[in-house]
Structure 1
């Protein structure tokens, strides 16, 4: 895809942009979530419907009222990113261009970023079975995130993230039989994290490999900012990448079968890859825990906080995921994990 191109559509509605004479477009993403959206890459005709040089734009169109709320949140975050001093990272985030009308709901138009989603290579045959390939993914994601957090760091605050997550989990899952066990683990995480202070930063909020674009061996784009906040806990993005990377390790393996490249990991129900990455022995768990410790250390925090942060990250997904079944699976996984990592890992932390 093309690098960013500066223009503002003269069109006032999605229809004006998509169906202008000579416009060309392609649907690149759609979903069936409660906040479902459709994303198009559109190239309007030069000189007719754009100000400035002709070029492609990304347009995200809401399918539901809930999706419109998500798009409004993304617009606010994109405007905040415009105001931030990101330095070289500025070219890796979409630039807000315009808001269009879509049957009474807002659609957002942004610049297009060059790159291939990391999810494309993640799902290639044997990619996650190769240590070097996985280490590269973690290094690229970790490097971009450290630079972003450094560029947007504010004043330090005592870390109340786990307590905030516990309250959100309690509100969503009141009466669920797994709630009490999950709350016990979040309380343990809170006791560990609350002792520390960290600079609050901008947070992407859904920092997983599907939202990272890669080009020429670097992160060339980070997209989908609808869950972002101006000032949040930097541990959120660090943990989200690690958890989601582990979650899909067994995606291409049949139930009960061993997962290639990861001795001891079999596909059994939900979340086996996360349990493996956080608790078991192997080259991938070593990489996962190293990435968490390294990222936490870069924030000026004790590296031993990695496990408590992981528990809070699981709780955050349980509290906030759009799909109820997906969220409840994370609640159950959180409730089943030990309060602390295995003894040998604790010593290494």
Structure 2
């Protein structure tokens, strides 16, 4: 199997032109902050002044032909967000400064935010074993999501905005991806049934679409920035971001624990097969499952829905990742876990 086709080597010339136009002859330091590992990777470069540690701007460039669409989607999302909320949610969302593409590739330039990704704290020794630290992570995430929903609401006159996936479109995508798989068929039927449609009656708002610890920058205990807006939608259910955050947080709880060993701070969790942290969060007992339930229930209740549907919200989140993830194995694992969850009491 061949990998995705890389863009022309001339992409470096496009990047050089962008940096020259925005920074002038004194470039300062350039740091490759992230090199995504999905099927269509992007590189993010942070520019710093010759002296000083405050970042000047961020540059994201597509490394494959397939990644060009993602870079363009992020540019559109940031532009539409700025049009609807000039404050860019209190200064936490990058401001689009430039977007360019030619035959060699695509590049966008945004403002840069100070702060460390929440994922750094997440992977620190025993961070996820500390109830107070984990509660603070969820509190930060929930507070920011509430401010996003308050700041950017669709207007009746808005047209052409990206709409988020519906239960029906997720079900169709599952069956299309695995047409002969009984698990895909069962999960698709469940998420599209009227009894499991957690979106029914919920409000429409802007949704980040990939809201996990790695995309949340924190400084002095508060959210300082939220990055990577390529999956954003503007007419969507805000509960999607809460479900994505909770699932991704639970998924790696046993990452640093040897298989068969108890996970520190989580009495009912033993490191084991893929997704054991999610199983624990949904069907286990203890402070972490209770926190996840409360996080989803609060999101349902504040948007006028039944808080008892928190499991359905997570199940729909699993189905969505299975249907849309670029990474085949990652998608398959979420499908299997979602189908397994259908049989849980």
Which TM bucket (shorter chain)?
0.7 to 0.9
Query: Deviation of residue 80 (structure 1)?
Result: 0.8
2:75 alignment partner in structure 1: 75
Query: After the TM superposition, which of the residue ranges 258-267 and 114-123 deviates more from structure 2?
Result: 258-267
Query: Deviation of residue 178 (structure 1)?
Result: 2.3
Paired positions, count: 321
**Contact kept in structure 1, 2:46 and 2:55, CA below 8 Å:** no
Deviations 1:264-310 (A, max 9, x none): 21122111111110111111000010111011111121211211111
Query: Residues of 2 paired with 1:296 and 1:155: CA distance?
Result: 22
- Determine if the alignment matches structure 1 residue 295 to structure 2 residue 299: yes
Query: Residues of 2 paired with 1:17 and 1:316: CA distance?
Result: 36
**Contact kept in structure 2, 1:86 and 1:152, CA below 8 Å:** no
TM-score (norm 1): 0.85
- Determine if the alignment matches structure 1 residue 150 to structure 2 residue 150: yes
Which secondary structure state, in structure 1, belongs to the residue aligned with residue 202 of structure 2?
strand
- Give the unaligned 5+ runs of structure 2: 1-12, 157-163
Alignment of 1:88-237 (within 5 A): 89-101=89-101, 104-154=104-154, 161-188=166-193, 190-193=194-197, 196-237=200-241
2:41 alignment partner in structure 1: 36
Query: Residues of 1 paired with 2:203 and 2:256: CA distance?
Result: 39
1:336 alignment partner in structure 2: 340
Query: Deviation of residue 32 (structure 1)?
Result: 3.0
Query: Deviation of residue 18 (structure 1)?
Result: 4.4
Query: Residues of 1 paired with 2:273 and 2:336: CA distance?
Result: 11
Query: After the TM superposition, which of the residue ranges 236-245 and 102-111 deviates more from structure 2?
Result: 102-111
TM-score (norm 2): 0.86
Query: Deviation of residue 235 (structure 1)?
Result: 1.6
**Contact kept in structure 2, 1:21 and 1:45, CA below 8 Å:** no
1:316 alignment partner in structure 2: 320
Query: Residues of 2 paired with 1:280 and 1:132: CA distance?
Result: 19
1:8 alignment partner in structure 2: none
Query: Deviation of residue 31 (structure 1)?
Result: 2.3
- Determine if the alignment matches structure 1 residue 276 to structure 2 residue 277: no
**Contact kept in structure 2, 1:185 and 1:339, CA below 8 Å:** no
Query: Residues of 2 paired with 1:136 and 1:63: CA distance?
Result: 36
Alignment of 1:39-50 (within 5 A): 39-43=44-48
Deviations 1:89-111 (A, max 9, x none): 24000000001347622100000
Deviations 1:182-217 (A, max 9, x none): 2343245x4232683122111100011110011111
Query: Residues of 1 paired with 2:153 and 2:309: CA distance?
Result: 19
Deviations 1:235-265 (A, max 9, x none): 2111100110000101111122211111121
Query: Deviation of residue 154 (structure 1)?
Result: 3.7
Give the direction of change, closer, same or farther, for the CA distance of 1:186–1:273 in structure 2 (3 Å limit): same
Query: Deviation of residue 165 (structure 1)?
Result: 1.5
Across the aligned residues of Structure 1 and Structure 2, the Cα RMSD in angstroms comes to 2.5
**Contact kept in structure 2, 1:18 and 1:25, CA below 8 Å:** no
Query: Residues of 2 paired with 1:17 and 1:58: CA distance?
Result: 11
